[in-house]
Structure 1
Amino acid sequence: MGEIRSAKFRIGQIVRHRVFPFRGVIFDVDPVFANTEEWWLSIPEDMRPSKDQPFYHLLAENDESEYVAYVSEQNLVADTSEEPLRHPQLGDYFDGRDGDLYVARGRGLN
């Protein structure tokens, strides 16, 4: 594995997947891959991301459903649409939205 990089995105930030049609809010960050080998190997080899980059836990949603996703940094872009998220677990992690960020529960607005 290579050098650990700093995370490009932060908790509370709204992001979109670069390839697949879903978006979500980041609720946790792993500095490098921290899921199972089975999960990693389930990704088609030609799309499999490097493990030595930040991976993000998202409260994700698409047109049909809401779910939790685990996504590599290389596959995310900032979402600037200003569309509200509807994920039912938002209140478990965030107190609300302040501009383009969701504010983590228990933290003041900065």
Structure 2
Amino acid sequence: MKASSAKFAIGQVVRHRVFDFRGLIFDVDPEFDNTEEWWLSIPEEVRPRKDQPFYHLFAENAETEYIAYVSEQNLLLDDSSEPLRNPMIPELFVRDPSGGYRAKPILSH
């Protein structure tokens, strides 16, 4: 399998193309990197290809916040500029005045 270049970047807000949720990208896999069990749990008629970027999201819908793993083909850029409420976001990101998110600097000893 040949991995493609990622269309989205860490810190971007995206929404799912089919399901009603949005999220902040905090990591990117160049191609599928989850368990085969997870892969097979997706109904075959909607199962995405493995040879594309997959994104780790601090996700949320109307009811809850969670972490999602989503294929690039199922994501769209969210340009609503509405803030996200996922409580994990402030640990790694800051919101800039423009309404976007940027990663916090990493501290090390």
Unaligned runs of 5+ in 1: none
**Aligned twin of 1:44:** 43
Give 2:74's aligned amino acid. N
Q: Name segments (4+ residues, structure 1) moved above 2 Å.
A: 95-101
**Aligned twin of 1:70:** 69
Q: What's the TM-score once normalised by structure 2's chain length?
A: 0.92
- Report how far residue 28 of structure 1 moved: 0.2
Structure 2 residue matching 1:74: 3-state secondary structure? helix
CA distance in 2, matches of 1:42, 1:68: 17
Between the two proteins, the alignment pairs up a number of residues equal to 106
- Report how far residue 93 of structure 1 moved: 1.4
The 3 A distance-change label for structure 1 pair 41 and 98 is farther
Structure 2 residue matching 1:38: 3-state secondary structure? helix
Cα deviation 1:26-62 (Å, max 9, x = unaligned): 0000000000000000000000000000000000000
Alpha-carbon RMSD = 1.2
- Report how far residue 100 of structure 1 moved: 5.1
Overall identity of the aligned pairs, in % = 65
The 3 A distance-change label for structure 1 pair 98 and 30 is farther
Q: Is the CA contact (8 Å cut-off) linking 1:80 and 1:100 kept in structure 2?
A: no
Unaligned runs of 5+ in 2: none
CA distance in 1, matches of 2:26, 2:49: 21
Structure 2 residue matching 1:80: 3-state secondary structure? coil
CA distance in 2, matches of 1:47, 1:4: 20
1:59 aligns with 2:80: no
- Report how far residue 98 of structure 1 moved: 4.8
> Within 5 A, what are the aligned runs for 1:25-40?
25-40=24-39
Structure 1 residue matching 2:96: 3-state secondary structure? strand
